[in-house]
Chains A and B, each alone.
Chain A
Amino acid sequence: NAGVTQTPKFQVLKTGQSMTLQCAQDMNHEYMSWYRQDPGMGLRLIHYSVGAGITDQGEVPNGYNVSRSTTEDFPLRLLSAAPSQTSVYFCASGFRSQETQYFGPGTRLLVL
């Protein structure tokens, strides 16, 4: 199993550009989520999904879109990047019947 994979590892954007952060898991997990990690603030939940076709907002959803067309994939889209979105982004997944979640290696995003 590859576990949770994220691409790219690092990305530089200019303000106003759009991009998609990819997340995939091969463990047949129903639950997937996106967090952002900022210094001194821990991780904050952006969006989550409890299964294909179902998504919901977390604590800091503004400026981000998600979709879940398959069990395996959960991409995060930035429609118009802003410097405030400079952060490290983590994808996580888990079974709905269990509380343990598995994290990907992260994507470091710099918005200039």
Chain B
Amino acid sequence: GNSVTQMEGPVTLSEEAFLTINCTYTATGYPSLFWYVQYPGEGLQLLLKATKADDKGSNKGFEATYRKETTSFHLEKGSVQVSDSAVYFCALSDKEDGGAQKLVFGQGTRLTINP
């Protein structure tokens, strides 16, 4: 079945450092790929998405490119801020006939940014 694997956390960086969180996936079809973010005490929010190969999703300075050849969707940001501290989830959508859109999540990566 479909699956998502994220780099192990937690990740701790200093403010203004470069961030990469690795994500690879296994899928039988052509899924859409997502990054969701969970701030402390809150639910998940969509950060960015890409729906086909070579698409780049971007939002709030974060970027990720859908790489079909390496089955990857790595999250990057050039200069992180303390406010970026959160748990980041990579996910894919397993869209079935009839419109059901089941998300398959990675295990999450906790990111802490120190001032």
Within 8 A of A (CB), among B97-115: 98-108
Q: Which of A13-21, A67-75, A90-98 sits within the interface? A: A90-98
CB–CB B45/A103 < 8 A: yes
Partner of B93, one of A43, A90, A99, A104: A99
User: For residue B95, which residues in chain A have a CB less than 8 angstroms away from its CB?
Assistant: 99
Partner of A105, one of B43, B49, B102, B106: B43
Q: Which residue of B lies closest to A104 (CB)?
A: B43
CB–CB A48/B43 < 8 A: no
Q: Which residue of A lies closest to B99 (CB)?
A: A96
Shortest distance between the CB of A99 and any CB in chain B (Å): 5
User: For residue A41, which residues in chain B have a CB less than 8 angstroms away from its CB?
Assistant: 107
CB–CB A50/B45 < 8 A: no
CB–CB B102/A106 < 8 A: no
A62 at the B interface (CB under 8 A): no
Interface secondary structure of B, over-half rule = strand
CB–CB B43/A106 < 8 A: yes
CB–CB B43/A90 < 8 A: yes
User: For residue B32, which residues in chain A have a CB less than 8 angstroms away from its CB?
Assistant: 99
B58 at the A interface (CB under 8 A): no
- Given A42-B105, A44-B105, A103 and B44 touching (CB < 8 A)? yes
Within 8 A of B (CB), among A26-41: 30-31, 33, 35, 40-41
Q: Which residue of B lies closest to A97 (CB)?
A: B99
Within 8 A of A (CB), among B63-96: 89, 93, 95
Within 8 A of B (CB), among A73-112: 90, 92, 94, 96-97, 99-106
Shortest distance between the CB of B21 and any CB in chain A (Å): 13
Bound CA span A56–B32, Å: 22
Within 8 A of A (CB), among B46-61: 46, 49, 51
